[in-house]
Structure 1
Amino acid sequence: MLSFIWRQLRGRAGRSVALLVGVLVATTGFVVLTGATTTSRLDVTGTVERNTDAAYDILVRPKGARTPLEAERRLVQPNYLSGLFGGITTAQYDQVQAVTGVDVAAPIAMLGYSTAPVTTAMDLTDAVDRSLDRQVIRIDPRFVAERGLSTAPGRARYLYVTKHPIIHASNDGVSSSDATPYTDGRSYPWDETCGPSPREVLPDGRTQSICNPRYAMGSPGAYSEREDWAVMPVRLLPDGRFEAHVNVLADGEGHGPGYVTTSDRLRIRYDLTVPFLLAAVDPAAEDRLVGLAGTVVEGRALRPDDSVIEGSRRGHHTVPVLTTSRPFLDEELRVGATRLPAARPGGMPLADLERELRRGPAIPAGDASADVVSGWRSRLAEGLSPTGCCFGQLQDIVQAGTPEYDRLPDGTLRVRPLPPAAPEVYGGHQDFNPYPRPWLTEDVGARPLRELSLKKSTPKEPLWREWRAVGVFDPQKLTGFSDLGKVPLETYEPPRAAGADAASRDALGGQPLEPSGNPAGYLAAPPLLLTTLTIVPELLTDGGSPQAKAPISAIRVRVADVDGYSEHAAEQVRLVAERIAQVTGLDVDITLGSSPAPQAVELPAGSFGRPALRLTENWSALGVASVITKAVDRKSVVLFVLVLVVCALFLGNAVAAAVRDRRSELAVLACLGWPARRIGTLILGEVAALGLAAGLLALALAVPLGAALGIDVGWRRALLAVPVALLLALVAGLTPALRAARAHPAAALRPAVATARWVRRPRTLVGLALANLARTPGRTLLGAGALAIGVAALTLVAAAGYAFRGAIVGSLLGDTVSLSVRGADTMAAVATVLLGAAAVADVLYLNIRDRAAELATLRAVGWSDGALGRLIGYEGLALGLLGAVTGAGLGLTGAAWLVGALPGTLVTVAALVAVAGVLVTSMAALVPAALLRRLPTARLLAEE
């Protein structure tokens, strides 16, 4: 049987090669094009919160920013931005903006924590004994945070109250260590250890220095604020008012020579070092996303053209920022006052100063307290000014990472404790940082810290960077700022965690735990200082930070025409998210429909008294959880299967024609005793051999062809070519084989082409062409159907690509459907049309062979080759019109069904595709028409 099959294939080499090429093209195209659709796809899972009003629909973060815990549980941590510093380039941001369907893309670049002084006022008026000529009041601070659970004592400060005049270094004239002008008009040399300290004027006219240890400490940035201490001289005036330097009195009036001010009350300034998280935004995008400009309550909003301001002094740079009206920090200072009537700091050297001040009797004199929130509000109440509120240093910026957890059997997350970071992270004297580090930085941490690499200041090239507020914004007025019972995904939402058990709730006094003043602490405050994105390159220049190349930490995206959650809106957002993931390769999460997901967290005990706490923290469960996976685009596979379907129709028609051509031979075999089963096996064996050969050739061609087209096919996918080609050939040959097996030997006496009984006698070439097509209705419908399938597919793809900008989103049978156009989809649709045109050409070719005697007769009676060619051309045109119009109508109906409307652009696209199908088919008809000249007229007439 095998040798017989081989002789049959070799004897009809032309037809065999044609069938082989058809299977080879279809199979190779299918394998290569499916390789092009192995791409990143967003799987949508999760329970959707129907009533959502988030400020943005999609969250884009750097590749790898999604932690394994987030990916596993479909969650996003609160204040996910606080530990995320850079990772997205401006080029990727431009790609996100260019994605069709993006309404707003708001970038944010987290820079890190800047420390700033927050003045608290301690009223010690009643601690003063006005009958004493001189007295010292010792101020013992206690730093308190985390609902009073963390407390630490600080180094005592001393308030020296005297009725004698006090002079200060003048702010006029040139100062030097040898001769510094003072407010009494005279000059005095500096103390070697205390610098230009205030001087007390004694009754005999002599003056003595009141050493301030702050001058000796220099720039105390590496010290904890618990270690910071000072001696502050205050004069009690005869009228009962108090006079002191502006840095001593919290609310004094007037700035005289030497910055001296007076007040009715002795309210002492106590500056706390508070870390504020600094971020850079695009002001225009941020305003569109959350209405940032409308939340400015004082000063002005950020402007896109804001830049670093060069100061009058060399190396002085000021960054304009928008600062918060609400610091969202739980930190307090409590002080106890003790009167030391016998202490005398005047003229005391620094080495003996603190020891001497502790001597003598001590009389309790009251206490006072203030918190960071009230202190910040007091600063804001002073108003924005070049010398007043509000400012902070940018010499040292600290970046905090994300916490790590241990998972307990019940699902609770236990925070892994970290030792306190090295003090050098916060800078110090070598960086000209003027502020000590926050006291809580000595506590057990939960976040790793690192210093942002900035250009360093040196004595030869001094560099002073600071931020200064140009406006104040109220975060609670931002769009999307919601109750914490809702979705905690907003950029400026302060995190809070309630006690999860009775012991924790009792320890917290029934209040939630809030962020403290520790950048390494578990709960991190949101960004409360905002500057412009254009300033980031200026700030990071020459610093060596990798963030300079990829400064953006996240992009928050709002999708056009999405207002609340719906099935249609969810599909629009999913489609845009998928495109962003494809073009950028970044981590993409869909936040539309997100809802809070309470998560139990165990926080280890702190170093300053806070016990271990079990907390309930609101994480965000993504309503439409998106996970990027590798999968084959199912819609594209449908298009590629159509390639195989059209090829199967083409092959089926060709095999059926071969069977008809061998009617006499098959009838003889039947008369010789061949059973029907063996005749059918012969036909299937021939097409199976062709399919196997085509599959092996496709296996060899798929990988190199894919490499040439830039498509990763791979050998595993290429191996699919063999079974696909074999199955395709068998399916195409099954029906003709069954017909051959069931045929009666007498069928060989019937003509191959039947007479069209229902057609009237044709009087024109067009009529004759239609009559000829009607004589083989099965073959005609098969050719037209193959073309119709291709035109319908191309109509849908073209409609999605042009009429709907690459996407059709709508509702079909209650399930949201999307069609996104890829290059491979277009290639598949075009290939289907071309195969359909080839099927039409094959139908015309077979018609010419079956009617060869008739055509020879027409030539013999005087018909010219031109007339016969026009006849075949009209047949091809009719087939093309039938298939193209039918396919365009099907494609138009399908596209209209998907979108629920029939726009004019869609009709135009369908008409253009139909015209293209007719033109391609007409060109394909030229090939069989050209074969008319090769008809052996004499031999055919002789055979008749």
Structure 2
Amino acid sequence: MFRMVWGQLRGRAGRSVALLVGVLVATTGFVVLTGATTTSRLEVTGAVERETRSAYDILVRPTGARTALEAEHRLVRPNYLSGIYGGITLQQYERVRAVAGVEVAAPIAMLGHSTSRVPMSVDLTDAVDRSLDRQVIRIDRTYVAERGLSTAPGRPEYVYVTRYPLIYPVIEPDTMDSARYTDGRVHSWSDECGAVPREVQPDGSSRPVCDPRSAVVVGNPGWSEREIWRVLTARLLPDGRFEVTHRALGAAVGAVDPGPTTVSRLALEETLTVPFLIAAVDPDAEQRLVGLADAVVDGRPLNAADTLTDTSIPGFVPDRSVPALVPSRPFLDGAVRTRLTRLPTARPAGLPPTVLDGALRRAEGTPAGSAEIDLAESYRGMLAAGLGDDAFDSCCRGQLQVLAQPGPVDYERGADGTLRIARVSPPDPAVFGDRTEINLLPRPWLSDDTGSRRVGRLVIPSDEALHDWRAVGVFDPDRLTGFGELSKVPLETYEPPRAEGADDRSRAALGGRPLEPSGNPAGYLSAPPLVLTNLASVPKLLEGGNSPQRGAPISAIRVRVAGVDGYNEAAAERVRLIAEQINRATGLDVDITLGSSPAPQTVTLPAGEFGRPELRLTENWSALGVASTIVEAVDRKSAVLFLLVLVVCGLFLGNAVSAAVRDRRPELAVLACLGWPARRIAALILGEVALLGLVAGLLAIGLTGPLGAALGIDVDWRRALLAVPVALLLALVAGLTPALRAARAHPAAALRPPVATAGWVRRPRTLLSLALVNLVRTPGRTLLGAGALAIGVAALTVVAAVSYAFHGAIVGNLLGDTVALTVRGADALAAAATVLLGAAAVADVLYLNIRDRATELAALRATGWTDLELGRLIGYEGLLLGTLGALTGAALGMTGAAWLVGDLPGALILVAGLTAASGVLLTATAALAPATLLRRLPTARLLAEE
């Protein structure tokens, strides 16, 4: 049997090659294109809170940014961005912006916690005994945070009040170990005391009042603000007022002092080191997303030209600054409690630094008052003074030398569902720098507490220069879009997290108030990014360093989708489409925030080192309701298109095998007359097509790899091996019907098959009407060819409509389900391949018609018909067949798209018309191939046989 099968294929090499090419094209195309059906699908889970509308619809984060808890339970904790520092390149950001349908793509680059000074004024006026000529006011400080649960004492500070005259140093750029004083004389000073005021004695001599800030090395990050102590000096004038200087009020060491001034009240400026999370944004994108520029209440907004600039003062340390926006309130819980004690017998003037501390501690005193200074009130008071331009002004500046970068919290879930901090982190004194790194501010006191996060660092390359941020404007977070006290879903970038007590004990400990972020960067509740600078300044700021953020500075991209205004199923599907495209274009983690739901979680917070007890807290987390995870799934729309390739190819092959069987009817009839049973004749036909399918499958294995690489589709070896069974199955299915028909045919009928007639058709009078009659005579064959073409044209119409009429995506409702269609390159190739195979099926129908009517055509030629007229006849048949298939397919595609979107736009009609015209033109062109057979018809032999 095999030898006979092989002989039949060799004997009809042309037909065999045509069938082989058909199977090869369909199989290779199907295997390669199905490599693109596996795509990133956003899985819909959970309940949807339909009333919420966040400022953005999609959140794009670096690959692998999801925590284990988020991936397992599809939950996002408040201010999740605080633990992500870089990971997205500027090129990936541009790809996100380029995705069709993205209205706003707002990047944000988290840099870390920068420390800043917030002045806190302590009024000492009423503590001064005006009857004494000399006295010291001791200020005992206690730092307070976390609703008063965490407290820590600081070293005492002192203010020496004397009626004796004072002289003051004039600090100049070339000041080294001596300074000119306000009396015109030059006095030396030591590193232990610095350039300090001198008290003039009755004999005309002067004694320095040592300030130990220099001895403690103020600004060295190895020291906590709790360890710093000062001795400041003021003169009590005869009229009851006070003579002070800028530094005597508590300004930073190194500040330019404008000289003595007279004040009616004596106030000490305490300073609290406050960490602010600083982030870089695109000012224009942030304005479009949340209205950042509109929220500015003082100063000016950020602009695209803002960048790192040189703000050095000649003669001093070089200084480089980035412009920044600061919030109108700090969203930090903190205070300083002070207790005042009057020391009437203390005499610090002239005491060396080695004995100063002991002498002041041993001095007896009397209570002189107390006060508690709130951090938030002090911050607002600092802003009320206005944005200063002076290089050493206390308002709205922060260091950028060393930034603390706390990571995410590690949780473990208990049997009752409560979350617990899985790992606590011991304090690291070097987080804000060590002795080799410049930082003019001490570390925050609460950073010495045990933390809930591991803290890394970002060290800005210094080149012996200072780096800082300076406020150019103040913004009110309440004015930002999507921000507010009533927000149910805490996914907004600038919303401060709060946690309520979850049981009576915790609520009582918190005083019935929520726990808020503290001054510890490693603390559990992380403050949102509230100091904002321009993204364009980041590359220049990180220049020369080795931080991975230099190449990938962006931490997240918040995306708003065009045409989405509130939650509904169509909007959710539109957002999903854009999210999938972003994932394919960038490979980043993509989450949909549209329709997210509040998901309160109970968290157990371990006790702290400064007195805070263990707390059970209820924290308002978010459940990503529309789509929280990206899973691998099959793109059903693409799979349908690729299956259509096989269907149309099957129709083409079935018709082609039928043509081969018809050509061999006399031969098959002879075999039947010789005693071949029907099953053996059917096996012969199926054996031929199976062998062709096997050869085509083996050839397809070698073609899938190079073809996939050329199309940008990854086809692994396991998928390539599918070519053999696909080709075999396709060939057998296509050949089954013709084989059974050949086996059941009567030998006599096979020797002289009748030609069908169309008795109901009137006598044709034109070539066009004759062509129509010829098609009607074989209705099954005509419908097969037209149907194959119609399938391809319908698929192409839908693909073209999505690409052009609907700008890349169709979102609509079908049978109660919201569905969406997008087009990729593989989809367009599948549709085009289907149309081409449909045209080939039409050409094969025409070829088979010519073979069946060969005697009729020979008779027409014998009666005077020219080859041109016969060619026109075949051309008309192809035109009619193509018109029927193309119009039907275009109508089906247009109707389906219109039904899906509920509208019939003019662009859709235009696309359908152009697709139909293309199908007709392609079919008419394909008809030229069978028309060339007319010239080779053996007219004399056919007439003689007849």
Q: 1:767 to 1:197 in 2, by over 3 A?
A: same
* Rounded Cα–Cα distance in structure 2 between residues aligned with 1:311 and 1:698: 68
Residue 618 of structure 2 is matched in structure 1 by: 616
CA 1:640/1:259 → structure 2, altered by over 3 Å: closer, same or farther? same
Q: Residue 419 of structure 2 aligns with which residue?
A: 413
Structure 1 residue 285: deviation in Å? 1.0
* Alignment counterpart, residue 383 of structure 2, candidates 365, 380, 383: 380
Which residue number in structure 2 is paired with residue 128 of structure 1?
A: 128
**Residue identity in the other structure for 1:182:** Y
Equivalent residue, structure 1, for 2:914 = 912
Q: Deviations over 1:401-434 (max 9, x none)?
A: 2122233233332213444443233125644422
Q: Measured at CA, do residues 928 and 174 of structure 1 come closer, stay the same or move farther in structure 2, by a change above 3 Å?
A: closer
The reply to whether residue 404 of structure 1 matches residue 407 of structure 2 is no
- The reply to whether residue 364 of structure 1 matches residue 367 of structure 2 is yes
Counterpart selection for 2:325 from 322, 325, 330:
322
Give the equivalent residue in structure 2 for 1:198. 197
* 1:25–1:752 CA distance, 2 compared to 1 (3 A): farther
Is 2:291–2:480's contact at 8 Å kept on the other side of the alignment? Answer: yes
| Conserved 8 A contact 1:338-1:366 | yes
Q: Which piece of structure 1 moves more, 231-240 or 2-11?
A: 2-11
> Against the structure 1 CA distance between its residues 257 and 931, is the aligned structure 2 distance closer, same or farther, given a 3 Å change threshold?
closer
The partner residue of 2:342 within 339, 342, 347 is 339
CA–CA distance in 1 between the matches of 2:259 and 2:329?
Answer: 30
Q: Which amino acid aligns with 2:92?
A: Q
Q: Does 1:393 align with 2:395?
A: no
> Percent identical across equivalent pairs?
69
SS of the residue aligned with 2:213?
Answer: helix
Using the alignment, how far apart are the partners of 1:16 and 1:897 within structure 2?
A: 43
The one-letter amino acid of 1:66's match is R
Residues 124, 368 of structure 1: 8 Å contact kept: no
- Structure 1 pair 643–191 and aligned structure 2 pair: CA distance change class (3 A): closer
1:813 to 808, 815, 821: 815
Letter in 2 for 1:327: P
Q: Residues of 1 paired with 2:401 and 2:17: CA distance?
A: 78
Pair 1:275-2:275 in alignment: yes
Instruction: Write the mapping of 1:797-808 to structure 2, written as runs, cut at 5 A.
Output: 797-808=799-810
Shift of 1:441: 1.0
Q: Aligned-pair distance for 1:684?
A: 3.7
Partner of 1:441 in structure 2? 447
Structure 1 contact 114–396 (Cα < 8 Å) conserved = yes
Q: Is residue 807–residue 819 contact of structure 1 (8 Å, CA) maintained in 2? A: yes
Contact conserved, 2:232 with 2:250, CA < 8 A, in 1?
no
Aligned residue number for residue 597 of structure 1: 599
Alignment of 1:759-778 (within 5 A): 759-778=761-780
Q: Would you say the 8 A contact 2:245–2:257 is kept in 1?
A: no
- Alpha-carbon separation, structure 2, partners of 1:746 and 1:646: 33
| Preserved CA contact (<8 Å) 2:322 2:470 | yes
Q: Which residue of 2 aligns with 1:487?
A: 489
The farther-off stretch of 711-720 and 749-758 is 749-758
Q: Deviations over 1:687-729 (max 9, x none)?
A: 3343333333323432343344442211211222222222222
| Partner SS for 1:638 | helix
Q: Provide the residue aligned with 1:212 in structure 2.
A: 211
Partner amino acid for 2:920? Answer: V
Partner of 2:85: 85
Taking structure 1 as reference, are residues 706 and 457 closer, same or farther at Cα in structure 2, changes over 3 Å only? closer
Q: 2:475 is matched with which residue: 469, 473, 476? A: 473
Q: Which amino acid aligns with 1:438?
A: P
Pairwise CA distance, 1:7: 4.8
Give the match for residue 22 of structure 2.
22
| CA–CA distance in structure 2, aligned partners of residues 609 and 294 of structure 1 | 42
1:503-522 Cα deviation digits (max 9, x unpaired) = 22222222211111011111
**Could you say if the C-alpha distance between residues 838 and 258 of structure 1 is closer, same or farther in structure 2, counting changes exceeding 3 Å?**
closer
How far does the alpha carbon of each residue in 1:356-415 deviate from its partner, in whole angstroms, 9 at most, with x for none? 112232322221110210110111111112134222222222222212223323333221
Q: Which amino acid counterpart does residue 900 of structure 1 have in structure 2?
A: G
Distance across 1 between alignment mates of 2:344 and 2:781: 118
Matched, 1:830 2:836: no
1:625 partner SS: coil
SS in structure 1 of the partner of residue 628 of structure 2: strand
Equivalent residue number for residue 509 of structure 1: 511
CA shift digits 1:741-771 (9 cap, x unpaired): 4444453366342122122222222222222
Aligned counterpart, 2:260: 260
Aligned-partner Cα distance in 1 for 2:101–2:791: 30
Query: Deviation at 1:811?
Result: 1.5
2:139 aligns with 139
1:107 Cα deviation (Å)?
Answer: 0.9
Q: Does 1:453 align with 2:468?
A: no
Tell me if structure 2 keeps the 8 A contact 1:250–1:267. no
Matches of residues 776-787 of structure 1 in structure 2 within 5 Å?
Answer: 776-787=778-789
Shift of 1:847: 1.0
Question: Using the alignment, how far apart are the partners of 2:544 and 2:620 within structure 1?
Answer: 40
Q: Distance in 1 between matches of 2:31 and 2:364?
A: 95
Q: Distance in 1 between matches of 2:7 and 2:185?
A: 124
Code of the residue aligned with 1:504 in structure 2: it is S
Query: Contact conserved, 1:688 with 1:729, CA < 8 A, in 2?
Result: yes
Q: How many residue pairs align between the two structures?
A: 936
Between 144-153 and 19-28, the greater mean CA deviation after superposition: 19-28
**Of 877, 896, 899, the match for 2:898:** 896
Do the aligned partners of residues 20 and 444 (structure 1) sit closer, same or farther apart at CA in structure 2, a change above 3 Å counting?
Answer: same
Could you tell me which runs of 5 or more consecutive residues in structure 2 were left unpaired when the two chains were aligned. none
Measure the CA separation in 2 of the matches of 1:362 and 1:268. Answer: 19
CA distance, structure 2, for counterparts of residue 639 and residue 218 of structure 1: 73
Q: CA deviation at 1:674?
A: 5.3
Counterpart of 1:188 in structure 2 is 187
Q: Distance in 1 between matches of 2:5 and 2:256?
A: 114
State the distance in 1 between where 2:422 and 2:873 align: 85
Amino acid at match of 1:87: G
In structure 2, distance between residues paired with 1:2 and 1:627: 54
In structure 2, the partner of 1:160 is: 160
Report the alpha carbon displacement of residue 304 of structure 1 after superposing the two structures with TM.
1.4
Please give the per-residue CA displacement for 1:666-696, whole angstroms capped at 9, x wherever unaligned. Answer: 5555566655555544444443343333333
Displacement of 1:11: 4.4
- Give the C-alpha shift of residue 8 in structure 1: 4.4
**CA distance in structure 2 between the aligned counterparts of 1:192 and 1:675, rounded to whole angstroms:** 116
- 1:98-109, aligned counterparts within 5 Å? 98-109=98-109
Q: Which residue of 1 aligns with 2:306?
A: 306
Between 1:674-683 and 1:515-524, the stretch displaced more is 674-683
Distance in 2 (CA, whole Å) between partners of 1:313 and 1:346 is: 33
Residue in 2 aligned with 1:32?
32
Structure 1: gaps (5+ residues): none
Are residues 1:41 and 2:65 paired?
A: no
Q: Which residue number in structure 2 is paired with residue 733 of structure 1? A: 735
CA contact (8 A) 1:660 1:752 kept: no
What code does the residue aligned with 1:822 have?
R
Please, which moves more after superposition, 677-686 or 124-133? 677-686
Distance 1:894 1:750 in 2: 46
What CA distance in whole angstroms lies between the structure 2 residues aligned with 1:191 and 1:644?
Answer: 91
1:80-102 deviation digits (Å, cap 9, x = unpaired): 11111111111111111111111
**Residue by residue, what CA displacement relative to the aligned partner does 1:250-288 show, whole Å, maximum 9, x if unpaired?**
89xxx9985323333332211011111111111111111
Secondary structure class of the residue paired with 2:215: helix
Which amino acid in the other structure matches residue 420 of structure 2? R
Q: Distance in 1 between matches of 2:893 and 2:605?
A: 60
Task: Name the SS of the counterpart of 1:552 in structure 2.
Answer: coil
Write out per-residue CA displacement over residues 321-365 of structure 1, whole angstroms, 9 at most, x where no aligned residue. 111111011111111122222111010000110001122323222
Which 10-residue stretch deviates more, 651-660 or 853-862? 651-660
1:211-244 superposed Cα distances (whole Å, 9 cap, x missing partner): 0011233343321000010001122222222222
SS in 2 for 1:526: coil
| Cα separation, partners in 2 of 1:312 and 1:729, compared to 1, 3 Å | closer
3-state SS in 1 of match to 2:227: coil
